[in-house]
Amino acid sequence: MHALDEGEAKTLLKRYRIPTTNFIVASKLNEIDKVKLKSPMVMKVCSSKLLHKTDVGGVILNINSKNELKNSFKKLKRKFPEEKILIEEMEKKGTEIIVGMIKDEFFGKVIMVGIGGIFTEIYKDVSFRKLPIDENDANEMLMDLKAHKIFENFRIKLDKKSLVELIYKISKIVAENKILQMDLNPVFLYEKGLKVIDAKVILE
């Protein structure tokens, strides 16, 4: 079992043309001068050993200048001297979705989609399917959700087609790579398109 760091996980997603954040991974302070990302930026500790970055104080938000970037880098490096640092553009907030995959003891590899954000634990509005799946299965998973009306232009317009494509592509990634667990949370879903904001991947 081996966990990918966030940079590696997002690079894997990009290989399958899954939209994620614009980011770079840096190890040394002098690499900050080469950063050409749009403000505001976010900085995170990038480690396969620290998958819950917020819990250990490994995330700094709303960085708006090169000076702030350097100070934030020094701060995280003091706290996590052995780890790399991921710097990325902060994204416009969308409707938060969670997409994941686990290996169940009885059913084998299972994919999950649900309503994400702060209400994930309260509502537990999720849908599961045994892998592999096709796009019809992905569409049915969304219709299983209690909140499925949000995908039918209920008060807000959301790009359901992009989400169906994401779920199907995750099935493809799992079929072609030895993946034990995957957690994309949050995924920001917009009126047009989506973006994976955070990604955790554990290999078998």
Is 22-89 CATH 3.30.1490.20? yes
User: What average pLDDT does the segment 68-94 reach?
Assistant: 96
The pLDDT value given to residue 119: 59
Mean pLDDT of the chain: 92
Q: How many CB atoms lie within 10 A of CB 110?
A: 17
The pLDDT value given to residue 54: 84
Task: Give the single-character DSSP code of 92.
Answer: P
Domain ranges of the chain: 22-89, 95-203
Domain range 95-203, CATH class: alpha beta
The pLDDT value given to residue 76: 95
Per-residue pLDDT tens for 27-69?
A: 999 998 888 999 999 999 999 888 788 888 899 999 999 999 9
- Pair 130, 109: CB distance under 8 Å: yes
